């Protein structure tokens, strides 16, 4: 019986899919923001149900790396909005490593 339990545990741990605790690197690409004005962009992780942060960006800035949780099928889902102009929340799903949002 112990061998069966040990085999079952080893099998489950070796083929387990990604969990919500696993994170991937994504980015915010400010290319659509004005070059001479700052905007505050708020980003929310919809997989882990937690805020990622607020970032003050302008169009001439470099891409900003962020990290988000992945679902059990391996994708991240973000919500983001432009806080400066009290913008609506926008969703972005099925995101893979290296994908960017462009507010």
Residue pair 51/8 in contact by the 8 Å Cβ criterion: no
pLDDT per residue over 17-37, tens digit each?
445 469 999 999 999 999 989
Global pTM value: 0.77
Query: Whole-angstrom distance between the N-terminal and C-terminal Cα of the chain?
Result: 56
What pLDDT was estimated at residue 9?
Answer: 44
Place of tokens 């923001």: 33
What pLDDT was estimated at residue 91?
Answer: 96
pLDDT per residue over 38-85, tens digit each?
999 999 999 999 999 999 999 989 999 999 999 999 999 999 999 999
CATH classification (class only), 18-101: mainly beta
Size (the chain), residues: 103
């Amino acid at each position: 019986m112990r061998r069966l339990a040990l085999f079952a545990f080893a099998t489950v741990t070796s083929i387990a899919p990604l969990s919500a605790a696993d994170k991937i690197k994504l980015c915010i690409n400010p290319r659509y923001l004005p070059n001479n004005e700052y905007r505050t962009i708020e980003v929310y992780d919809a997989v882990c149900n937690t805020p990622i942060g607020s970032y003050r960006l302008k169009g001439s800035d470099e891409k900003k790396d962020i990290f988000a949780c992945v679902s059990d099928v391996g994708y991240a889902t973000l919500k983001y909005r432009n806080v400066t102009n009290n913008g609506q929340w926008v969703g972005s799903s099925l995101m893979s490593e290296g994908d960017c949002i462009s507010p």
